[in-house]
Homo-oligomer: A and B are copies of this chain.
């Protein structure tokens, strides 16, 4: 499951200077003569296996991490033991913004598949911020982006039906994978139904039902963790408030009369 296609070509430990992902990195615009020296402050290319923790809620550290390949989920545990997934993270994304105030991570991050991740110590962050205005601005931008993402998740969980959440989730995933509309595309869910459910504020059964319904409608084809998106427009339609524009489900066998009744 090599998401980027050529991970196997990389040495396990490499300098930032030769990193094939440096354009996506937080520190992408560092002058190259600095980069080499800085690599001593970076944990390069750490391999994590599926299920491994990158860090745990409560860990005392101010490291931040950058996903180089693979995928992770972040989650928060409440005092009562409830656990909620608050994000999925793919290549190029930054983790660990939650510890830079309190010196304790407010969330845990777990690899969803075998992943390669770089770490920046707080020492390095401060050094880069002090010497490189570009890095500093990039860091601020990433922070801001994360906050906006949280807002969107809040909007998603609040006051949307399970079907809307499902549709929006899939569209978000498609967008992050770089797919545009109108293509017949295949989507690889790296996370479990339970993860999706937790992220969307639902239970796994409901997620399963939503996906099944989408499949019955001809919107997509579900095969375990592999999805084929057949009708992207329908998905977009469903992600909006469709209370007034209810589309007929697969009518043949069972209904026929019901959708007509629903039409006005």
Contacts and interface: CB of A to CB of B under 8 A. Distances in A.
Interface of A: 76, 78-80, 82, 84, 86, 97-102, 106-107, 125-126, 129-130, 133, 136-137, 139-148, 150-151, 153-155, 157-159, 201, 240-241
6 contacts: A76-B155, A98-B151, A102-B145, A107-B151, A150-B154, A153-B154
A147 B64 CA distance: 14
A219 B35 CA distance: 60
A86 B154 contact: yes
Contacts of A133: 126, 129-130
Given A101-B142, A101-B148, A82 B154 contact: no
B143 A240 contact: no
A62 to B, nearest CB: 9
Nearest to A78: B155
Contacts of A139: 140
A6 to B, nearest CB: 29
B144 A97 contact: yes
A160 B102 CA distance: 26
A132 to B, nearest CB: 10
A99 B102 CA distance: 24
A82 B236 CA distance: 17
Contacts of A125: 140
